[in-house]
Amino acid sequence: MSIKVSDLRYVYNPGMPGETVALDDVSFEICDGQICGIIGHTGSGKSTLLQHLNGLLKPVSGDVYVDGQCITDGSTKLVEVRRKVGLVFQYPEYQLFEETVAKDVAFGPKNLGLKDEELDATVREAIELVGLDYEQVKDASPFELSGGMKRRAAIAGVIAMKPSVLILDEPTAGLDPKAHREILAMIRRIHEEMGCIIIFVSHNMGDIASMCDKVLVINKGKIELEGTPQEVYSEKAKLEEIGLDVPPIREIINKINAATELNSDALTAEEAAEDIKNYIQCRK
């Protein structure tokens, strides 16, 4: 399982006064089981890129391959593409619409032709995977749930399609710290149990650093940087120039590095604490 994008180009309003190149020769590959983070300031082209990955937008030129199969040459049925690549939009809870949580989650798989026990089992599995209590929520109206629970119910609706690639566009925006932690734990659990590729778009640099194997930095429709979180967050000057940042812990560590001999390249509080402990012990 892999997803590959080659020389993707997309233009909004071609030939019109407002012509904008939204994606400019974007190429990358995400391998089996990876969690890939995408960062970029608002308007950098992130969402345009995501919409190409499940065929919501058609590129001007270039191709997208899911599992070796080209989804942009017109040979693949879009229904099939959208089942394989699940896209969870920003604030997905605004898309809940059914009377009960179970019906809402069942909407996708039902359209795929699942029936009776198979449908029920799929729905139960998806609801449990996002960390909700099936018995407790199945007959509840999705609108009675708390903000964090609503969002998880909406994500369950996408997971129920059993996608091979799950794309989450800012899944933690607007959540309180506890709900935020729960969503991150949920993403890890989905990744472990379903073994799918996860593409994770976020403005939270700390989340990207702690969750991802690989990070793509998008700026003005191009890939500006690509690499492991360690590699990407070493480019502080470049990130700031394009409106981004390093994780808050790295910010603290950078300042301390400049004033002491710590020389840490930690991205998370756990790594930083370990480095500080070693530094103090060495000094003694």
Q: In the complex with another protein, which residue's Cβ is closer, 103 or 236?
A: 236
Q: What is the closest distance, in whole angstroms, from the C-beta atom of residue 133 to another protein in the complex?
A: 18
Residues that bind another protein (CB under 8 A): 40-43, 146-148, 173-181, 203, 205-206, 240, 243-245, 248-249, 252, 255-256, 259-260, 262, 269-270, 272-274, 276-277, 279-280, 283
CB-based contacts of 38: which residues, under 8 Å, 6+ apart?
Answer: 46, 49, 50, 199, 200, 201, 215, 216, 218
Residue the block writes with tokens 């990130």? 239
3-state secondary structure of 10: strand
Q: Work out the burial of residue 107: count CB atoms within 10 Å of its CB; fewer than 13 is exposed, 13-18 middle, 19 or more buried.
A: middle
Q: Residue 175 burial (CB < 10 Å; 0-12/13-18/19+)?
A: middle
Shortest CB 176 distance to another protein, Å: 4
Least spacing, CB of residue 268 vs another protein, in Å: 9
User: Least CB distance from residue 90 to another protein, whole Å?
Assistant: 8
Q: Which is nearer to another protein, 56 or 276 (CB)?
A: 276
CB nearer to another protein: give 74 or 259. Answer: 259
| CB 228, CB 214: distance < 8 Å | yes
Q: In the beta sheet, which residues pair with residue 9?
A: 61
CA distance 279 to 263: 9
Q: Smaller CB distance to another protein: residue 123 or 249?
A: 249
* 82 vs 203 by CB, closer to another protein: 203
Pick between residue 115 and residue 284 the one whose CB is nearest to another protein: 284
Cβ proximity to another protein, 118 vs 240, nearer residue: 240
Give me the least distance between CB of 165 and another protein, in Å please: 24
Q: What is the DSSP string of 96-163?
A: --SSSHHHHHHHHHHHTT--HHHHHHHHHHHHHHTT--HHHHTTS-GGGS-HHHHHHHHHHHHHTT--
Residue 227's CB is within 10 A of a number of other CB atoms, namely: 14
The nearest distance, CB 134 to another protein, in angstroms, is: 22
Cα–Cα distance measured from residue 110 to residue 205, given in angstroms and rounded to the nearest whole number: 37
3 state DSSP class of 56: coil
CB of 19 to another protein, least distance (A): 13
